[in-house]
Amino acid sequence: MNVGIIGSGGREHAICYMLNKSKKVSKIFCFPGNAGTSLIAQNINLDPDNFSVLEEYCLKKEIKLLVVGPEKPLVNGIVNFFKRKSIKVFGPDKISSKLEGSKIFTKKICQKNNIPTSKFKICESLKETLDYLKRGNFPIVIKADGLASGKGVYICKNFNDAKEASEEIFNGKFGYAKQILVEEFLEGEEMSYFIVTDGKNYKFFGSAQDHKRVGEGDKGKNTGGMGCYSPSRLLNKDLELKIKTKIIEPTLNAINEQGGVYKGFLYVGLMIKNNDPFLIEFNVRMGDPECQTILPTLNTDLFDVLISCCDGTLNQTSIDFSESKSICIVLCSKGYPEKFENNIEIKDLEQIKLLKNQNIFHAGTLKTVNGLVSNGGRVLNFVSTSDDFLKCRDDAINLIKKLNWKEGYFRRDIGHKVIKT
């Protein structure tokens, strides 16, 4: 079967890499892809948010399955558009995708279904927000309501920080904002828990801990993710049962009641305190860099997982992961997440010889007539699997050192909560 993948980051390269291993996949097309995907698939430079143009190309190339990497096409209703077509789309429909498209929508579902989460206030103007903040306890969390590429969350230590964050959101930093979410600050340790679902059944699809802050020791500004380790050190049977019964199942039931059909990955962002889970956020796709960290440990053919979700036969598919630990370290452009330069040459990447337990996934790269150049803040993902987290991290760092890209930087402490040195 010919398969199309929508997206251009490390997550999409990892998905492409796994599908390329499947004997059931004939050819892969990436919309638009990156320099890494171009090595194993055909990159197509068309706008994946233009569904009519995408449909025309898929019909022309006999693409029977579309895998949606990023959230925007899902929130915009790509699944609904293709519903009556001959092309299957892996991902949740428009109603289901509101779980990520609107943080306020998700909070209301939590409130109605007694899903454990932080206390919150929905504010509809800057004045209302500031009046509420004057009475608030700090630290406090300010969130933009819509899509913000993982960056629309502010943890504010005092009123002035919260005021600045609120002004940025209402002034349009993440697009037009008519509402803002103010949340209680939850203490504990973060964990990401993933499932895959066909609309009726769901199965576990890995756990991880992302490192969002730009600086070592989890300091500095939020980013899209500086690295990740999997599995999470926090996960145990008792906690997992609570995650399923208190958060995942009530949410999927609520979506069904609203007429949604959730097929695809569900990312459950959690705060864990005293072995109790509290929902921070949902994402309606695999995380990035969690996807690059988890997929190399998947033994099952990824194509079988995706197609069974589309067909509603997930209960007939066994999903098996290896016992390996995995760490991903993100190599970023200097200046990220603030101002950085693109089109910086990356030399000799192809000279690095990888072992079976190592992967380099492209995130922000571009193939030009003059060679490989950077094309984003997060540029390359270095992944290693092993039976030991410290070995994983050392392997990934050694790969980065071999590249010796002087225009980049990375965190050397990924996995510091699980690695005791």
Give CATH for domain 2-93: 3.40.50.20
Residues 287-343 have pLDDT tens digits of 999 999 999 999 999 999 999 999 999 999 999 999 999 999 999 999 999 999 999
Residues 6+ apart with CB under 8 A from 409: 331, 332, 334
> How many residues comprise the chain?
421
Q: Which residue has the tokens 């004045």?
A: 127
308: enclosing H helix or E strand? helix 302-311
User: Which pTM does this prediction carry?
Assistant: 0.95
Would you state the pLDDT for residue 148? 65
| Maximum distance among all Cα pairs of the chain, rounded to whole angstroms | 60
Percent of the chain with pLDDT over 70: 99
Name the residue ranges covered by the structural domains of the chain: 2-93, 125-178, 189-316, 325-409
Angle, helices 249-257/94-101, rounded to nearest 10 degrees: 130
Q: Which CATH class is domain 325-409?
A: alpha beta
pLDDT at residue 200 is higher than 70: yes
Residues 150-165 have pLDDT tens digits of 668 888 999 999 999 9
Euclidean distance between CA atoms 67 and 210, whole angstroms? 23
Residues 52-87 have pLDDT tens digits of 999 999 999 999 999 999 999 999 999 999 987 889
Would you state the pLDDT for residue 173? 84
Residues 6+ apart with CB under 8 A from 182: 120, 121, 122, 123, 129, 132, 133, 136, 140, 141, 142, 143, 162
The correct answer on CATH 3.30.1490.20 for the domain covering 125-178 is yes
Assess whether the region 125-178 and the region 325-409 belong to the same CATH fold: no
403: enclosing H helix or E strand? helix 389-403
Would you state the pLDDT for residue 146? 76
Domain spanning 189-316: CATH superfamily: ATP-grasp fold, B domain (3.30.470.20)
Angle, helices 126-134/159-170, rounded to nearest 10 degrees: 170
Would you state the pLDDT for residue 157? 93
